[in-house]
């Protein structure tokens, strides 16, 4: 599989900075699913300054975990998706197509 990952800079409550990684996966029915991407220690994290970037990995080197939670503001039950990657390599260069439909 090849996916595009984005790095988001975040801060803890005590002021420490860390990065979280996000991506969008396409299901077999064509719908898009936003996922958090976590890298196991042996895989290593991509450098945040290189993101967005494409990464490649085999399905055998990854798994999807789901977690149900209750939204504090509405009380609704939601589901979060986390893609755990244990081995990856850099994919094709990332090309931004977000403005292709504009003049």
Q: What is the pLDDT of residues 24-77, one digit of tens each?
A: 999 999 999 999 999 999 999 999 999 999 999 999 999 999 999 999 888 999
Q: Nearest 10 degrees: CA dihedral of 35, 19, 7, 27?
A: -10
Q: Does the predicted model carry a pTM greater than 0.95? A: no
Residue 6's nearest CA partner among 35, 44, 27, 41 is 35
């Amino acid at each position: 599989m090849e996916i595009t990952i984005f790095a988001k800079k975040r801060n803890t409550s005590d002021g420490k900075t860390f990065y979280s990684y996000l991506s969008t996966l396409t299901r077999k029915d064509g719908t898009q699913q936003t996922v958090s991407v976590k890298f196991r220690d042996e895989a290593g994290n991509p450098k945040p300054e290189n993101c967005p970037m494409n990464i490649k990995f085999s399905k055998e080197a990854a798994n999807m975990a789901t977690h149900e939670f209750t939204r504090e503001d509405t009380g609704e039950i939601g589901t979060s998706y986390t893609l755990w990657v244990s081995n990856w390599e850099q994919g094709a260069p990332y090309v931004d197509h977000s403005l292709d439909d504009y003049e």
